[in-house]
Amino acid sequence: MARPLCLDGASFLLSESDPRRLAACGAEVAFVGRSNAGKSTLLNALCRKDLARVSGAPGCTRTITVYLAAKDRWLVDLPGYGFACGPAASRAGWGPMVEGYLAGRPALRMVFVLVDAKLGPTKLDLLMLRWLQGENLPWRVVATKADQVKSSRSLAQKLRVAQAAGVQADDLAWVSSLDGIGVKELRRDVCALLAG
């Protein structure tokens, strides 16, 4: 019997700036969001190891970075949007790179859109959600850095973020890579999406 998929064995596969050069794979999930939202840190928390480079200075992940969760199963860390640093040429390349990737992957099973739990979705986050809906892609909102919301406020803030993002509170993943809130549940969901 095949072993259940587990992210602990994940490893770096490749880094690419041109989505057209990516090979096909059996199943993949992607992580997108503002620069500094915590995408790379969340991937590390999900895989329980330091796979992805975490930025001290935002805008660190500038290419599509693919990690192999299992044979033919990809975890994809996308460059962040909305941070005005880096050469203008690389900022201008963000749209074609990320949108080209997202729109061109038939095996893409979920796009996790990371938003800041304390701030809620920004205008750019809402634009991304609207774009994903327009493209008919599967997406889910993940509120990150939940440790920065006081526990006494977390229920009310979760409702506020869900409402601002236009989703049901039950559908909003509420996570902190720092103290592990919600990471186990999200890991289980990611494994289920990639399995089969």
Ligand X SMILES: Nc1nc2c(ncn2[C@@H]2O[C@H](COP(=O)(O)OP(=O)(O)OP(=O)(O)O)[C@@H](O)[C@H]2O)c(=O)[nH]1
Find all residues with CB under 8 Å of 33, minimum gap 6, and list them.
39, 80, 81, 113, 114, 115, 125, 128, 142, 144
Q: Which is nearer to ligand X, 5 or 143 (CB)?
A: 143
Whether the Cβ atoms of residue 177 and residue 117 lie closer than 8 Å to each other: no
Q: Which does 82 bind (CB under 5 to 8 A by kind): ligand X, Mg ion, none?
A: none
Span interacting with Mg ion, options 8-16, 31-39, 142-150, 185-193, rule CB under 5 A: 31-39
162, 134 contact by CB (below 8 A): no
Minimum Å gap between C-beta 158 and ligand X is 15
Candidates 15-23, 39-47, 152-160, 165-173; binding stretch for ligand X (CB under 6 A)? 39-47
| Segments in 64-122 forming alpha helices (H) | 88-92, 94-103
Q: Are residues 32 and 43 in contact, defined by beta-carbon separation less than 8 angstroms?
A: no
Name residues whose C-beta falls within 8 Å of residue 84's C-beta, 6 or more positions apart in sequence.
91
- Here the tokens at position 122 are 């920004």
CB 178, min distance to ligand X, A: 4
99: phi then psi, degrees, rounded to nearest 5: -70, -35
Q: Which of residues 140-179 bind ligand X (CB under 6 A)?
A: 144-145, 147-148, 176-178
* Residue 157 interacts with, from ligand X, Mg ion, none (CB under 5-8 Å by kind): none
Residues 56-95 that bind ligand X (CB under 6 A): 58-61, 79-80
Radius of gyration (Cα) for the chain, nearest Å?
A: 16
Q: Site for Mg ion (CB under 5 A): which residue of 36, 40, 44, 177?
A: 40
Task: Report the partner that residue 93 touches, choosing among Mg ion, ligand X, none (CB closer than 5 to 8 A by kind).
Answer: none
CB of 138 to ligand X, least distance (A): 20
The residues that touch Mg ion, with contacts defined as CB under 5 A, are 39-40, 61
Positions in the binding site for ligand X (CB under 6 A): 33, 35-41, 54-55, 58-61, 79-80, 144-145, 147-148, 176-178
